[in-house]
Amino acid sequence: MAFDYDLFVIGGGSGGVRAGRVAAETGAKVALAEEFRMGGTCVIRGCVPKKLMVFASGFAEAVADASDYGWDIRRGDFDWLRFRETLRAELSRLEGIYRTNLARPGTEIFDTRAAVADPHTVELADGRRVTAKHILVATGGRPFLPPETPGIEHAISSNEVFDLDALPKRMLIVGGGYIACEFACIFNGLGTEVTQFYRGAQILRGFDDEARGHLAEMIRGRGVNLHVGTDVAAIEKRDGGLWVKGSDGSEGLYDVVLYATGRKPNTEGLGLAEAGVRLGRWGQVEVDAYSQTSVPSIFAVGDVTDRVNLTPVAIREGAAFVETVFKGNPVAVDHADIPSAIFTQPEYGAVGLTEEQAREREEIEVYCACFRPMQKAFIGREERVLYKLIVSRATRRILGCHIIAPGAGEMIQMVGVAIKMGATKEDFDRTVAVHPTMSEEIVLMKSPVRTA
Ligand code: NDP
């Protein structure tokens, strides 16, 4: 049977673009449809603009530190609109690069929504139908806001946060995950008065308990008004701002209420279930280790599969799909020991198991260093960094590493390599320290703080 394309990719985010490009480079006839902007969540309204805001928000602290170090320097105000213009130009530049990289090997781009009509047919928004030997669903996810909260229509999500018309003076951030914690620190750094509500007992559920507690303390220490065990009872638009009643009985007035209460896979209206593709409880596409769905010609990668929702993982899944389907070399993505960072201030980098997970599995030793780093202690800052290693007593391998420190995102990448190679505590011990650095502590921790 002849098809219009060898591969039709739905979704121009990290996973879809990588798969489309490398498939086209094998000589396959490829098309890709994207309804919004090329680059997806990561480039357009996620990792990239977020990280640029992290950089922007770090300057207030840099100026304060410089002044305490002896520089004659004074902080002015942050010009949000000027930053926003530069940000928009940068995102357009990056979008252009994505588009060019995709088009160069010959991928045909449809700037429109597409849905699956049957296992080999895609229907475009204008009704046109095209056929493909393989269909790759890479439609990502979207913010979830609890619809039952009264007044939720007044809240924004991370999709809108980069386009605010003014820097809010008072902001409420709801949630305790990656996005909520990162934006709490970003806006706090930019000079906004930030309140954060998290419904559970401690932020960042699923991360190492000791690290969560340490980070919460650091975030509060920097001025974020973090309330745990608190949810929003109601939001009303009133004179002077958005009035929010908390489940703890508190009342507050804010310029912006940002919900960061998780994300849901983008599968609605895609025709997947009708085509026979099995979906999970949250609407995620169920796939095997090779990203194949229950319909053999349809594959899915990235956040839409709700495996590990991180850009580099989606990119690997996209590349592995092409290896498997177009290069005759079946590759399953290894989802173990993926390093990641939360770009709070200070940052939190983590790889491998938490102490709690490791204890469930085997006997462990825990090594910890918590101290005021030299650069900050010199100017009287109280903030402490945390370095933590979880070690198997039986194999001596490092099972997990948790770092809360400025630059932890950069450090954890390197530790991730060592852990992936199976490094033991003794491998760390025989590595000579780089002095004077903060990260030298990672090779200098001599005695466990506890065994379990
Ligand atoms: P997360 O799943 O990390 O966090 C969602 C938060 O919202 C949790 O604290 C959750 O609470 C809370 N929540 C969920 N539902 C409700 C509700 N109905 N009412 C009140 N609170 C609620 O999602 P994020 O949106 O922060 O991030 C999505 C994903 O994006 C992450 O999992 C991550 O994979 C990725 N990401 C990665 C980043 C990075 O690598 N630096 C940065 C940003 C995002 P509870 O814990 O009680 O369930």
Residue 334 lies in a domain: no
DSSP of 136-181, one letter per residue? EE---EEE---TTSTTGGG-B-TTTGGG-SS--SEEEEE-SSHHHH
Domain of 362: which CATH number? 3.30.390.30
Q: What is the pLDDT along the chain (452 residues), one digit of tens a residue?
A: 799 999 999 999 999 999 999 999 999 999 999 999 999 999 999 999 999 999 999 999 999 999 999 999 999 999 999 999 999 999 999 999 999 999 999 999 999 999 999 999 999 999 999 999 999 999 999 999 999 999 999 999 999 999 999 999 999 999 999 999 999 999 999 999 999 999 999 999 999 999 999 999 999 999 999 999 999 999 999 999 999 999 999 999 999 999 999 999 999 999 999 999 999 999 999 999 999 999 999 999 999 999 999 999 999 999 999 999 999 999 999 999 999 999 999 999 999 999 999 999 999 999 999 999 999 999 999 999 999 999 999 999 999 999 999 999 999 999 999 999 999 999 999 999 999 999 999 999 999 999 99
Which of 234, 261, 288 is a domain's end point?
Answer: 261
The answer to whether residues 121 and 244 belong to one domain is no
142 lines ligand 1 (CB under 6 A): no
- Work out which ligand 1 atom sits closest to the CA atom of 260: 25
The answer to whether residues 117 and 23 belong to one domain is yes
Domain residues for the domain of 40 are 5-143+264-326
Instruction: Report if pTM > 0.75.
Output: yes
Which of 261, 278, 309 is a domain's end point?
Answer: 261
Q: Which residue among 149, 196, 199, 305 is best mutated to probe the pocket of ligand 1, counting the most ligand atoms within 8 A of its Cβ? A: 199
> What's the DSSP call for residue 16?
H
At 393 the three-state DSSP class reads coil
175 lines ligand 1 (CB under 6 A): yes
The answer to whether residues 417 and 437 belong to one domain is yes
The answer to whether residues 133 and 23 belong to one domain is yes
What is the C-alpha separation between 77 and 341, in angstroms, rounded? 29
Q: Which residue among 54, 152, 178 is best mutated to probe the pocket of ligand 1, counting the most ligand atoms within 8 A of its Cβ? A: 178
Residue 238 lies in a domain: yes
Residue 367 lies in a domain: yes
Residue 331 lies in a domain: no
341 lines ligand 1 (CB under 6 A): yes
- Interval between CA 203 and ligand 1 midpoint (Å): 10
The answer to whether residues 133 and 156 belong to one domain is no
The answer to whether residues 26 and 96 belong to one domain is yes
Which two tokens mark 36?
A: 């919004």
Residue 406 lies in a domain: yes
Residue 333 lies in a domain: no
The answer to whether residues 27 and 134 belong to one domain is yes
The answer to whether residues 250 and 183 belong to one domain is yes
For residue 186, the model assigns a pLDDT of 98
Which of 284, 299, 326 is a domain's end point?
Answer: 326
Residue 137: enclosing H or E segment and its boundaries? strand 129-137
The answer to whether residues 270 and 181 belong to one domain is no
Domain of 176: which CATH number? 3.50.50.60
Query: Is residue 435 annotated as a catalytic residue, yes or no?
Result: yes
232 lines ligand 1 (CB under 6 A): no
The answer to whether residues 217 and 158 belong to one domain is yes
Question: Total domain count for the chain?
Answer: 3
The answer to whether residues 244 and 193 belong to one domain is yes
Contacts of 265 (CB under 8 A, 6+ apart): 139, 140, 141, 282, 283, 284, 285, 303, 304, 305, 306
The answer to whether residues 302 and 397 belong to one domain is no
Please check whether residue 403 is in contact with residue 348, taking contact to mean a CB–CB distance below 8 angstroms: yes
Residue 445 lies in a domain: yes
Residue 332 lies in a domain: no
What is the C-alpha separation between 397 and 52, in angstroms, rounded? 36
